[in-house]
Structure 1
Amino acid sequence: MSATAIIRRTGAEMNPWAKAELAQITGGTWEGDLPEAWTTERIAFWDALVCPGALVIPHVSTYRYGVDKLKIERDAQRGLALFVDEEFQSDNEEFPLLRVASVRIAMRRLAEHARAAYSGRLIATSGSVGKTSTTAMINAILTATGHPQFPGGNFNTVSGVLGLIANLPRSGIHTTEVSIGFFRRLQDLFALKPHVALITSIGDAHLEEYGSRRAIAELKARVYDVAEGGTAIVPRDSEYFNYLRERALSFGARVVSFGEHSEADYRLETYSPGDNMVSAVLKGKYRRYKIRNPGRHMALNSLCALAAADSLGLDLHVATNALAVTEAVHGRGEVIRIALASGEVQIVNEAYNANPTSVAAVLAAFAEQRRPAGGRKLALLGDMLELGPMSAKFHASLAEPILAADLDMVMTVGEQMRYLRRTLPEYLLGPHFATADNVLAGLATILRANDILLVKGSNAVGLNEIIVSLGRQFRSHQ
C-alpha cells in the first residue's frame, strides 16, 4: 500500500461517537456489556487504527478491510467494542458488539454524519494516473504548512474512503484518494463533498469494466460534486478538459486548471531531468523549484498539488520547498538499491499498478535516466490488466516509448506482453516469464553491478511483491 492520509488524532478536536448515537445512525443493535455512557473517537477498520476504546471492525463479509483477529485479542484489555454484520460469529464474549445488517452501508451513514459535523477542509484526489503520487505531494505540503497527516494505507475504495471520512475530526485540512469505483453509487457521494477536488488525468485504466475513456471521465467527474464554494482542479491537457470543466461548473465549483497547455492556470514551462528542476507559472507568477522524484509526469503532478495548496491559501514558498523532499510512494517510483556479489544494482519500483498511460509516462522518465558507468538500463514489464478487447493493441503500442527509452534489454511477464515482444527488435528482447513465480531466479542470472532496472506491471501480476522480496534479501541502502 501507498502513503495516503489516515486521519491524525493529535492536535485536532475529535468527533466522538456515543453508544446510543452509533446504534441510531447505523440501525444496529448492541450486544454484550457496555456502559451507556461509553463513547469512542476511533472507528478502527485496519490494524494501525486500533487504540484504547476503539470501535473495531474485524474481518467481516460486508466490508473490504478489517482488523486481524490476533490484533484484537492482543488488545482485549483496552476497552474495545466490535462493529460486525449479521453473519459474524464471535468466539470471545469479552467484546461488546454493535451488530448491523451491512458494515459498509453502516459506515456510509456514519461517514455522512461525520462529514456534516466537519468544519475543516477536505481534499479529494482522483485520476487514472498520478493520484497516489499527487496525494503524497499534497500530504507533504500540508505537513510542512502545519497540517500534519498520519501516514497509512492507500484506502481509496468505497470502504476505505467511507472509513476515512467516518474518522474525520471536527476541523483541520485532510486528504483522501478516491478510486473510480467509489463514484459508481451516487449515494456515497453525500459522504465526500470535498472542498478541493482534483483529477490528475483520464487514461485507459479500467477500460475492460467501463468500456471507454469517455465513460471513465464521466464517472471520475463526479468528484467535482464539491462543497459550497469548493474548487475543482482540472487537467488542461486532457482531451476531456471541456467536458470536465463544464461538469465541475454544473456542480457550482470554481475551476482552475494545470498542465502544459498555454492557457493552464498552473502551467509547466520546463522540466530539467538532470536536476529535477521545474519552471512553472502559477496563476501568472513565475516560480522555479525542485522535485525529489524524477520525471515530467511528476512535474505535472507537482503542479496539481500546488494548485490544491494555493486553492486553500497555503504558503506556496513553503509548499514548493516541501516538494524537494517528498519521497516516492512505495511501488510508484521508489528506488531500491540492492547489493549483489558483483556490486550494487538500482531498481526503480513502479510495479504497484500499470496502464498504457502510466507505463508510457514512466518509460519517458526512465529515458532521462543516465546509464550508470559500466552498467545497463533494463526494463521488466508485466501485463497491463483490465484493458478489455483493446489489450493486445495497447501492449503492442508500448514499443514506441520503449524504443525512445534507450534500453539495453526488455524482460516481460505475462501472456499479454507477448504482443509487445512481437513488435520489438530482437536485440532488445530479454527473457519472458509466463508468471512472476520464476522472475527472482531469472533476475539473479541477469543483473550485474551498476545496472539500473525499471519494473512496471499491474498489481495482480505480482511483480511488486517480487521486488519487495528482492529488496529484503539484498538491500544495500535507500
Structure 2
Amino acid sequence: YKLGSPGKHIVMNSLAVLAAVDALDADLALAALALAELKPPAGRGARQMLHAPSGPFMLIDESYNGNPASMRAAIENLGRIEAQGRGRRIAVLGDMLELGESGPALHKGLAEAVTGNGVDLVFACGPLMRSLYDALPSRQRGAYAAQASGLEPLLLDVLRAGDVVTVKGSLGSRMGSIVKAMTARFPVVTADD
C-alpha cells in the first residue's frame, strides 16, 4: 500500500490503523486505499513548493508543535529528501517547550540527529534551541535569533532554488510566523511555472 504522507512515524501509525481495521474485520483494502489519500495539514508536515528569485524550493511546515520525538522525526524526514542542484537541507527550529530541567540537554541532543541526517544548515530561535545551535559545527550554523521574528529576515535572504526547508518548533515558539513570512514573500509554484 502507499501512504500520502512521508515519515517512519507515519508508517508505524498506518500499520496500527491497518491492524485495527483487520481486527474489526473491516475492509482492509479500502483502508489501505484511504491511507494513500492522507495529506498532512498546515503546521503538521504540509509540503509546498515556493518560488525564490533563483527558482523553486520546498517548504515543509511542521510549525504547529515540537517535542523531542517529533523533532527527530522531522529532521529524519528532511534527511531523506534530496536537495536539488545547489540546494541545501535547512532546518529552521524553535524551542521545544515544557520539558522541565532537561530542556537544554534535550535540545543539545538534537545535534546528533542534525549531523546524522545530512542537514546542511540550522536556523535556530529561542533560548533553549541556543543549546543545539552552540553544539553544531560552524559549517552547519545558519543563524540564531532569540525570537522567530528575528530569524525571519536572516532565513528569507538566503533561500535559493533547490533548497528543502523544514520549519519546526512548539506552538509557543511561534514558528508559524516564519512559514507565513515565507509564503508571503515567495509565491507558490504552479503547474505553469
TM-score, length basis structure 1: 0.38
Aligned partner (choices 89, 98, 113) of residue 401 of structure 1:
113
- Amino acid in the other structure paired with 1:430: G
**Deviations for 1:152-184, whole angstroms, at most 9, x for unmatched residues?**
xxxxxxxxxxxxxxxxxxxxxxxxxxxxxxxxx
Counterpart amino acid of residue 294 in structure 1: P
Structure ID, larger Rg? 1
SS across alignment from 1:309? helix
Residue 317 (structure 1) aligns with: 29
Query: Equivalent residue for 1:358?
Result: 70
Aligned to 2:150: 438
Query: Contact 1:349/1:455 (CA < 8 Å) preserved in 2?
Result: yes
Any stretches of 5+ residues in structure 2 without a counterpart? none
Q: Summarize deviations over 1:384-410 as a string: whole Å, max 9, x none.
A: 000001101101110111111101111
Match among 95, 100, 119 for residue 388 of structure 1 = 100
- The 1-side partners of 2:152 and 2:119 are apart by 20
Q: Distance in 2 between matches of 1:477 and 1:305?
A: 34
Correspondences of 1:46-445 after superposition (within 5 Å): 289-445=1-157
Which one of 162, 170, 179 corresponds to residue 450 of structure 1? Answer: 162
Q: Does structure 2 retain, via aligned residues, the 8 Å contact 1:349–1:467?
A: yes
Residue 421 of structure 1 aligns to a residue in which SS? helix
Q: Name which structure has the greater RCO, CA cutoff 8 Å, separation 6+.
A: 2
Q: 1:381 is paired with a residue of what secondary structure? A: strand
List runs of 5+ in structure 1 lacking aligned partners: 1-288
Letter in 2 for 1:442: L
Q: 8 Å contact 1:292–1:323 — kept in the other structure?
A: yes
Residue by residue, what CA displacement relative to the aligned partner does 1:323-351 show, whole Å, maximum 9, x if unpaired? 11211122111112211222112111111
Q: Is the CA contact 2:59–2:164 (under 8 Å) kept in the aligned structure 1?
A: yes
2:173 is the alignment partner of 1:461: yes
Question: For the Cα contact (< 8 Å) 2:148–2:174, is it kept in 1?
Answer: yes
- SS in structure 2 opposite 1:430? strand
Relative distance call for 1:397 and 1:406 in structure 2 (3 A) is: same
Shift of 1:427: 1.0
In 1, the alpha carbon distance for the partners of 2:142 and 2:185 equals 24
Q: Distance in 1 between matches of 2:117 and 2:187?
A: 26
Once the 2 structures are TM-superposed, how far is the Cα of residue 435 of structure 1 from its aligned partner? Answer: 0.3
Distance 1:422 1:439, change over 3 A: closer
For 2:109 and 2:86, locate their aligned partners in 1 and report how far apart those are by CA, in whole Å: 30
SS in structure 1 opposite 2:130?
helix
Shift of 1:462: 0.7
Deviation at 1:469, TM superposition (A): 4.1
The answer for the alignment partner of 1:240 in structure 2 is none
Q: CA deviation at 1:297?
A: 1.2
Q: Given residue 21 of structure 2, which amino acid in structure 1 is its aligned partner? A: A
SS at match of 1:313: coil
> Which residue type is aligned with residue 429 of structure 1?
R
Aligned residues: 190
1:202 — aligned with what? none
Shift of 1:467: 0.3
Give the distance between the partners of 1:443 and 1:400, measured in 2 at CA.
22
**3-state secondary structure, aligned to 1:446:** coil
Give the letter for the 1:465 counterpart.
S
**How far off its partner does 1:474 sit?**
2.5
Q: Counterpart in 2 of 1:185?
A: none
Whether 1:470 aligns to 2:185 is no
Say if 1:303 and 1:468 are closer, same or farther in 2 by CA, change over 3 A.
farther
Offset at residue 371 of structure 1 (A): 2.2
TM-score, length basis structure 2: 0.91
Flag the structure with higher helix content.
2
1:385 counterpart SS class: coil
Residues 108-166 of structure 1, C-alpha deviations (whole Å, 9 max, x = no match): xxxxxxxxxxxxxxxxxxxxxxxxxxxxxxxxxxxxxxxxxxxxxxxxxxxxxxxxxxx
Q: Distance in 1 between matches of 2:139 and 2:55?
A: 25
For 1:473 and 1:408, how far apart are their aligned partners in 2?
23
Distance in 1, matches of 2:18 and 2:183, equals 33
| DSSP-derived class of the 2:157 partner | helix
Contact 1:396 1:419 in 2 (8 A): yes
